[in-house]
Structure 1
Amino acid sequence: MNFNAVIPEFIVSDLEQSRSFYCDLLGFTIEYGRPEENFLFLSLEDCQLMIEEGTDNELTELAYPFGQGINISFGIKDVPKLYQKLLESNYPIYRPLIKRKFRVGDHYIYPHEFAVLDPDGYFLRFSE
């Protein structure tokens, strides 16, 4: 497995709840874990993410939503399909699916994107 140059790591309040959200709902795969550290390394297509259940000391210093001010963008192939899966699961959508227009240098791209908050309030944007 190759590792991305930047891989976010989230401190979560409940590893099993987060595993269920990321793997069962969003479709991430567990690449490996360290149960003794309550840690999982996850991937979805070319995206990588680490989650680790926080200790009582770490969690008392965090306030919901965790990661305030951070917007993590995941580039995936079929954003509308994932969006539909979340709708069918009745998961709350933070920002509905839209087709955006972004200028990149001297041309424009038109990705679909939407955003959700994970169980601990991390802001996740999925974009093509």
Structure 2
Amino acid sequence: MKSSLHLDSREALPWFSDATHSDPALVPELAVTDCEASLIFWRDHLGFLVLYARPAEGFAYLTLGTAHLMLDQIGLGRTWEVAPLTPSLGRGINLQVSVPDLDAPLERLTASGWPFFMAPEEKWYHAGDQEAGVHQFLVQDPDGYLVRMQSSLGRRPVSPGQHLEQEPS
């Protein structure tokens, strides 16, 4: 059985071949207990592509649109351990991934029976004299990292007297 870290022809390397590319300003690297299980979540359920991988080290670099993320299996290759790594590894972090449409990841997660941390919702936030809307949901990856998938609903004028949220939650 081949490793799920294997790249296939659908997962070309546009990031490496595009001379106009600039590196993302921030790329989180998540310590994971099982890179294969994490790939099932991030790639198969959420739709990320494996940009490159080092299977012997349990490492994968993933992208979805302009979102970039690295997975690094604890105990294989180098492990950046500053304190004991005990589950749930995702304590205190919420990763937001913006996508044009939530339908495909919602369908894949639902079909797989993956639990939602927060069910899909529509939320509007005060932004000056307008409100900005998002369609969003939250799930946890196999190691407990909280992932907020969201898609913009655009902006609209604030209705007179309407009370809105001040900050995204």
Task: Provide TM-score, normalisation by structure 1.
Answer: 0.89
Residue 81 of structure 1 deviates from its aligned partner by 3.2
* Per-residue deviation, 1:42: 0.2
Determine whether 1:98 maps to 2:118: no
Map of 1:6 onto structure 2: 26
Other-structure match for 2:132: 109
Equivalent residue runs for 1:73-88 within 5 Å: 73-88=96-111
Say yes or no: does 1:41 pair with 2:61: yes
Structure showing greater Rg: 2
Q: Greater shift after overlay, 101-110 or 47-56?
A: 101-110
**Could you tell me which of 82, 91, 94 is aligned with 1:68?**
91
Deviation track 1:102-123 (CA, whole Å, cap 9, x = no partner) reads 2234421111000000000000
- Higher RCO (CA < 8 A, seq sep 6+): 1
Other structure's SS at 1:116 match: strand
TM-score (norm 2): 0.69
- Asked if 2 retains the 8 angstrom alpha-carbon contact of 1:80 and 1:112, the reply is no
**SS of structure 2 residue aligned to 1:111:** strand
Partner amino acid, structure 2, of 1:30: V
CA distance, structure 2, for counterparts of residue 6 and residue 100 of structure 1: 26
Given that 1:80 and 1:97 are in contact with CA atoms closer than 8 Å, whether structure 2 keeps it comes out as no
Give 5+ residue unaligned stretches, structure 2: 1-14, 16-20, 152-169
Which of 141, 151, 156 aligns to 1:118? It is: 141
**Corresponding residue number in structure 2 for 1:31:** 51
Bigger fraction of residues in helix: 1
Percentage of matched positions with identical amino acids: 33
Rounded to whole Å, the distance in 1 between the matches of 2:130 and 2:85 is 41
**Which shifted more, 81-90 or 118-127?**
81-90
Unaligned runs of 5+ in 1: none
The residue number in structure 2 matching 1:54 is 74
Q: Secondary structure at the match of 1:112?
A: strand
Q: What is the SS of the residue equivalent to 2:106?
A: helix
Question: 1:106 & 1:70 partners in 2: Cα distance?
Answer: 30
Task: Give the Cα separation in 2 of the matches to 1:105 and 1:55.
Answer: 48
